[in-house]
Amino acid sequence: MAVAEPPIVEIVGLAKSYRRGDQVVPVLQDINLSMTRGEFVALMGPSGSGKSTLLNLIAGIDTPDRGRLAIEGVDITGLSEGELARWRAEHVGFIFQFYNLMPVLSAFENVELPLLLTRLDRRRRREHVQLVLELVGLADRADHYPSQLSGGQQQRVAIARALVSDPTIIVADEPTGDLDRQSAREILDLMESLNERLAKTIIMVTHDHLAAERAHVVRHLDKGVLTDRIERPRARATG
């Protein structure tokens, strides 16, 4: 931990506000945050605190009003829509509360989606998809459609999809929000193992204390400001 690793996420003075009618509502004010490679950060806070907005900014699906937001040293605040899309394809893996799988695509095809944006040929794509499906324990469900899978299984397909292109960071928005306790635990186990065994950098928004417990660092957001920082140092495999 003492080793000075360059930060993988570096946020300085980030601010974002929304316009509602002719009122300007500040959502995030002067956010400073930094994450190192392999870190697992949980963002908590009451609803409306701006945690999802912050997550969206880091994921490059929303743009800040000011401040610096660099991922792996690249400031993404200046990128155009198209550049951002390409950047996301390469650097970000998404896990959503409602899984957001394409209902008309099989598990295999859903996982394959991000790879379609790469130059990988068909054979290589198949290898990658099979690998991550095995990793999430769904190799035998590759041909199933989302409607044929349980919520927990669907979320595992979504995790496989987030993983398959080997992104720089994985963002997760309430990944257990729609799951029962048992499934939630399995998903958190999976995410934890991704973080520990594969050294994936994860940033997760959650309401759930059980979920937050799995992170190394828990940051609280209140009314658009980062408040306390709880660190939970733990043994982690260096990858």
- For another protein, the binding residues in 40-69 under the rule CB under 8 A are 53, 56, 59, 61-62
Work out whether 38 is an interface residue with another protein (CB under 8 A).
no
> Cα–Cα distance between 213 and 187 in angstroms, integer?
13
**Which of 21-29, 30-38, 111-119, 181-189 is the region at the interface with another protein (rule: CB under 8 A)?**
111-119
Give the C-alpha distances (Å, rounded to integers) separating 50 from 33, 47, 212, 224. 14, 8, 17, 5
Give the C-alpha distances (Å, rounded to integers) separating 62 from 23, 79, 85, 138. 20, 11, 11, 32
**12 vs 105, which CB is nearer to another protein?**
105
Contact present, 152 and 183 (Cβ < 8 Å): yes
User: C-alpha 24: how far from its chain's center?
Assistant: 28
Options 29, 100, 130, 168; binder of another protein; rule CB under 8 A? 100
Options 161, 200, 216, 219; binder of another protein; rule CB under 8 A? 161
Work out whether 131 is an interface residue with another protein (CB under 8 A).
no
Pairing of strands 169-173, 201-205: parallel
Q: Give least dist CB 87 to another protein, A.
A: 8
Binding site for another protein (CB under 8 A): 53, 56, 59, 61-62, 81-82, 85-90, 92, 94, 96, 98, 100, 102-105, 109, 113-114, 116-117, 161, 173
